[in-house]
Structure 1
């Protein structure tokens, strides 16, 4: 799956390319499933290129999340052998061949072995979103007693709720009323709906403000206002962090591949949500459905 120009879903191309060969410290994965994420839409539309996040290329591949089976290893690879069931993250934007393909080459350090019995299709939803949530929580200067998570019913927000609740935080989740049962099942202690006065709603539950926030919905200053002075705030959307008012420590999470951390997440029995599976050839339909919104879980492409 590649693009040669930016635009709508009609620029997506399915074509034959040479089988990739793994180099030193790399593995080749025969793809079982690859997830469609908002970053794929942003790549296809040209938003990443306009933001200076992606280098200019004549041909660009799509797909960050992958699950499958190792079918070849490069020199000096010691941790993987052909036949291993794995997940991995292709975290370099602009590569000509990424995860939405029959085979993909990844650094061994970006790859993790799956537990026995793991569902390969569901596991493909884990790498990008769970790593983003985990790395966002890592940016908090200390484990918060109270944590606000916006976009809590989404893929990143859902993992943030689940990981933070397991770590002992009291999570206040921002989600639509219909998503309340879902986010509570993930570990949220309270759920508030999106509103123009979010800070007041949150502060009614956490007087003085929450210790920290993970802003997976890009609410910015509205979510920052719910954080106490000298608290912490992490924005999931690149470049969307608000100013560090009231001494609040503000950061953006920029995802990086991390095979060992991914292995830990894969073994943690997190809630994996697949909205639907489609053949790789139906990638344009997947982009249209993602842009329409309202999905709970990720769309997964199966070669």
Structure 2
């Protein structure tokens, strides 16, 4: 996979002009990502990207209460298993960028390692203690308030900072920046939904004062009628263009109750935010063990096509004659990368 990944990076850097684009690298084939955000040219100082790890689960199983109750494993072994191996991916990206002349001659050579960790959700398949203890304690962690409580109990990371929740009464999203050491041109904040599972995280980067783009990460889906989502999609100032959403296709149920919004929810989010890409995330068929998971949890594989047919069945004839829109669905293989061009 490394050679194929390097080829993708070399192909991209050989043709890019002007501002760079974010790079997504799948760490476990499910929901853990290395997300590399392009540093504005006048702030690069020896690095092309600011590298964050999102919801790292690279070791062990996700166990809640007891392994005989809730025990979740990944569908396949992660492409990387610890912080050092993720740092090697960072080094690979920076090396290829430097080889392509992105940094220019005479650039400094700072440490090319993970810059920050985003802990967007507090369940153990998103917040893995075994995994996160393999990362340097000096890496700052930007966490939801629920995740921050758990992180501080481990006494591992030196710096944990709370992600803010979007304020539906204040359209100024810049006020949601969590503060240093996250650079001013990059921000992260949460969109709260109707249930703690059904949230979204917005990661916003600015290439200049007039251009702001976002990656909307919603592993279990968020209802588009939620005030937080409506505020994000239609009321923020300055305006933000959604470059990609990260969302699953599969439908999941626990005790007969829907826990993820699946392909239908993803299509609704895609229609509301109009991204260029839909990146499949948290969409693998996980290994469920333990009494609760085996007896009461069900996942159902879905496709874009089945979701579109479902959505059409709910629309009026007037809606159906409107512009037809088929999402640009992207699957990133375990250990692979994709550039949000």
Do they superpose with TM above 0.5? no
Q: TM-score w.r.t. structure 1 length?
A: 0.30
